[in-house]
A = this chain, B = another copy of it.
Amino acid sequence: MQKMNMFMIQRAFSSFSISRVSRLHQPVSHGVSWSFSHINPTEDSISQLLVHEGFIQQCSSGLYAMLPLAQRALDKLCRIVEQEMEAINANKLLLPTLTSLELWQKSGRWRPTNPELMTMSDHHQKQYLLSPTHEEAICELLSHKEDTSLSKLPLLLYQISSKFRDEGRPCHGLLRAREFMMKDLYSFDCDEPSAAKTYDVVTTSYLRVLSRLGVPYIRVEGSCGDIGGSFSHEYHFESDAGQDILLRCSNCGHCASQDFLLETRGGIVGQQEAHIECPKCSSSHMDSIKGIEVGHTFLLGDKYSAPLKATFQYKQGVRRPLIMGCYGLGLSRLVQATVTRCSSQNSIVWPWVLAPYKLCIIGPKRGSKESAASVWVESLAVCLQQQVPALRGDVIIDDRDAFTIGNRVYAAKRAGYPLVVVVGKHALRDMPLFELIDNTAAFRSLQETSKTPLFGEGLSSKSGNLLTQLELLNYLGVLCNELDQIRS
């Protein structure tokens, strides 16, 4: 029984456990002055900022550690992906990182001259790839057992795992890394029309994932390139910091990747985008915009399933290759890309649903006149987590009370906490007041085109205001609710 009690206490404690900045590994670069005003966000400046503020850290060229705050954002993104995958009955699994080179020889994709493929040999001299993608491996998996019957189709299999690509010039932090976190899904159908239907279901689900981030995205027709297949789509964030070029028709708004247009219009190369006609309305005004690619989906047909014998039982004794789609979403890349897209101002801005913590509470400095107010900090943290569902598990206390409030408010802004509550001298009044700092304006302003006005129901911004505990709770309840509703 004593054992049981220990567990119950521990559990009760853990459901209200509160994070503290003093216990957080966030190695901010001291002694290096970083002027936000110099940043006209580029991919590179944002990756430097993420390094500088202790979110990620380079371990080797193109190899980054996700430090605890970025890891929390990545974990939140994974949950969103998992929820949307469950809604379309996709099965999560995990394939080995190492794929036998043989399989890539069978599919015809192995070229020893491809410098981007990373290989290794085991002690029996058998060769493996550090997989950049798993089309071959998943086909091999399905070829082994005779279970894939018509009734099981469409079959959707996905995984979240590290992928490898030996980039010639790794740069821009998580955007062009040599090891990165990918979500890859593979769909299997009995024929092209069903496969095209499945492709719609899966890509609609991908749009929902992107939409839930609240960061405006663009979906364009893409080039199939090396991977092959009959058609593909790319998913981009429009950003001056991007390295992909998209063309948008100024007449009908149709958007396509420059590569795709050049490819489908006869392989014209060079800087000729001004002369490309819109494939939809034939207008000759295509504007060039920049994008960060965060996803790419392909209808592959039987390019991999046929050579690797991933078949289904068409009728008694007759097996046919499965018709396949593949769907990639760059998860670690998305973490940085969302920050890049949101941080149009002069500090890190996280999309609300990915913010590592949503609210930071800052108490008085130790030994200061208002230090007695610090009794409020802990109870406020518990109360906010209990009363505002969106904040549960997402409140952190900046308990580094050797620093002034001002110092910590500045640090909180740099770290990009969407909401900050300051417990200062006004908390010592008969009716204690707390200051709310609302940093969500930049994120909210991304939804310029949204028809629904934010704060629609008479809620006006109280950022910078002093609020009683009850006012704070009510206001945050409504605000978090509205922020949770934001979709791009």
Task: Show the binding face of A for B, using Cβ within 8 Å.
Answer: 1, 3-4, 7, 10, 13-14, 17, 19-20, 22-31, 54, 57, 59-61, 63-68, 71-72, 74-75, 83-84, 86-87, 89, 91-100, 115, 118-120, 122-123, 126, 128, 130, 137, 140-141, 144-148, 151-152, 155, 157, 161-162, 164, 166, 168, 178-179, 181, 208, 211-212, 400, 402, 451-452, 485, 487
Cβ B452 vs Cβ A1 within 8 A? yes
Nearest CB of B to A233, in Å: 19
CA distance A155 to B128 in the complex (A): 37
11 more A-B residue pairs beyond the given contacts A65-B95, A120-B120, with a C-beta to C-beta distance below 8 A: A3-B487, A4-B452, A4-B487, A17-B87, A23-B89, A28-B145, A59-B95, A97-B97, A97-B162, A130-B130, A151-B400
Can you name the residue of chain B whose Cβ is closest to the Cβ of A161? Answer: B162
Interface-centre pick from A1, A66, A96 (highest chain B CB count, 10 A): A96
Cβ A54 vs Cβ B141 within 8 A? no
| Sample of 21 A–B contacts (CB below 8 Å) | A1-B452, A4-B452, A4-B487, A10-B208, A17-B87, A22-B152, A25-B91, A25-B152, A27-B147, A28-B145, A30-B147, A68-B157, A71-B92, A71-B93, A72-B92, A96-B179, A115-B123, A119-B120, A120-B120, A120-B130, A162-B162
Cβ B92 vs Cβ A68 within 8 A? yes
Given contacts A452-B4, A487-B7, contact A94 B122 (CB under 8 A): no
Residues of B near A59 (CB, < 8 A) are 95-96, 99-100, 137, 140-141
- Interface residue from B13, B19, B74, B93 paired with A65 (Cβ < 8 Å): B93
Nearest CB of B to A11, in Å: 9
Residues of B near A83 (CB, < 8 A) are 14
Can you name the residue of chain B whose Cβ is closest to the Cβ of A179? Answer: B96
CA distance A68 to B212 in the complex (A): 25
Cβ A96 vs Cβ B65 within 8 A? yes
CA distance A212 to B3 in the complex (A): 11
- Interface residue from B68, B126, B137, B151 paired with A93 (Cβ < 8 Å): B68
- Interface residue from B23, B140, B146 paired with A31 (Cβ < 8 Å): B146
Given contacts A83-B14, A208-B10, contact A145 B27 (CB under 8 A): yes
Given contacts A65-B141, A89-B20, contact A118 B120 (CB under 8 A): yes
Cβ A17 vs Cβ B86 within 8 A? yes
Residues of B near A100 (CB, < 8 A) are 59-60
- Interface residue from B92, B99, B148, B178 paired with A75 (Cβ < 8 Å): B92
Cβ B87 vs Cβ A147 within 8 A? no
Cβ B93 vs Cβ A63 within 8 A? no
Residues of B near A178 (CB, < 8 A) are 98, 122
Cβ A14 vs Cβ B94 within 8 A? no
Given contacts A59-B141, A94-B66, contact A147 B71 (CB under 8 A): no
Can you name the residue of chain B whose Cβ is closest to the Cβ of A170? Answer: B122
Nearest CB of B to A211, in Å: 8
